Amino acid sequence: MTFLAQLWMPILLSAVGVFFASSLIYMVLKWHDSDYRKLADEDAVRAAIRAGSPTPGQYIVPYCTHGADMKTPEMQQKWAEGPVGFITLRPNGLPQMGGTLAMWFLFTLAIGVIVAYLASTSLPAGASFGQVCRFVGIVSFLAYAGGAVPDGIWWGKPWGSVAKDLLDGLIYGVVTGVAFAWLWPR
């Protein structure tokens, strides 16, 4: 069994590689820009939300606490009239990119550690490049992309956006798999 401590270099390299790949995807290629649309009357919608003084959090429209309530004529009318949606509100002010990017990097490190643990208990020292790349790549893909399909199923995320998230996860899985395979203990 490969010891987890021997895998600190591929953990770090994969985290840096995924961070760099995601930066290219979001800031250079910008293929996720089309995932978001502007509301026709954004200012009126913003004013209506602001008038309710909501705190940051997740909201659903129309709001219904129990399944039985969904059958009432009032709720049926709300569902029929629409809109139906999920809203995530963040604190007011410009997004703090430094903190967000730091949390993203810590997340990539955490995935690297978990993947390293799984690989170290499943692959021997001296495993081939292909064995390591395949195992680590698949586990990493699942870690990075596993939530994309449920977002489409349960939260109504457009399937085109889900497909891009899956492609992102595939790229991150390949980057992680190659980093581990290249630096796997011999």
User: In this predicted model, what pLDDT tens digit does every residue of 22-43 receive, in sequence order?
Assistant: 999 999 999 999 999 999 999 9
Q: What are 104-141's pLDDT values in tens digits?
A: 999 999 999 999 999 999 999 999 999 999 999 999 99
Q: Are residues 109 and 20 in the same domain?
A: yes
Q: Tell me if 47 is assigned to some domain.
A: no
Q: Do 24 and 106 share a structural domain?
A: yes
Do 83 and 115 lie in one domain? The reply is no
Question: Scanning the structure block, which residue is given the tokens 């606490």?
Answer: 65
Going 49 to 53 to 58 to 59, the CA torsion angle's sign is negative
Is residue 13 domain-resident? yes
Residue/partner pairs of 87-95 with CB below 8 Å, 24 or more apart: 87/49, 87/58, 87/59, 87/60, 87/61, 88/57, 88/58, 88/59, 89/49, 89/54, 89/55, 89/56, 89/57, 89/58, 89/59, 90/56, 91/56
The answer to whether residue 112 sits within a structural domain is yes
Structure tokens at 175: 């980057």
Q: Are residues 151 and 83 in the same domain?
A: no
Residues 31 and 114 in one domain: yes
Do 77 and 109 have their domain in common?
no
- The answer on 121 and 72 residing in a single domain is no
Check if the beta carbon of residue 173 is closer than 8 Å to that of residue 138. yes
* Residue 71 resides in a domain: yes
Note whether residue 9 is domain-resident.
Answer: yes
Determine the structural domain holding residue 82 and report its residue range.
57-90
- In the chain, % of residues over pLDDT 90: 92
> Per the domain annotation, does 104 fall within a domain?
yes
Domain annotation covers residue 164 = yes
Are 86 and 99 in the same domain?
Answer: no
pLDDT digits (tens, 9 = 90+) for 141-159: 999 999 999 999 999 999 9
> What does each C-alpha distance from 141 to 2, 3, 16, 75, 92 come to in angstroms?
22, 23, 16, 40, 33
The total domain count for the chain is 2
Does 41 reside within a domain? no
Does residue 64 sit in the same domain as residue 114? no
Q: At what angle do helices 159-183 and 97-122 cross, to 10 degrees?
A: 60
Is 0.75 topped by the overall pTM? yes
**Is 139 found in the same domain as 173?**
yes
Looking at the structure, tell me whether residues 146 and 167 fall in a common domain. yes
Are 144 and 171 contained in the same domain? yes
Residue with the bigger pLDDT between 3 and 123: it is: 123
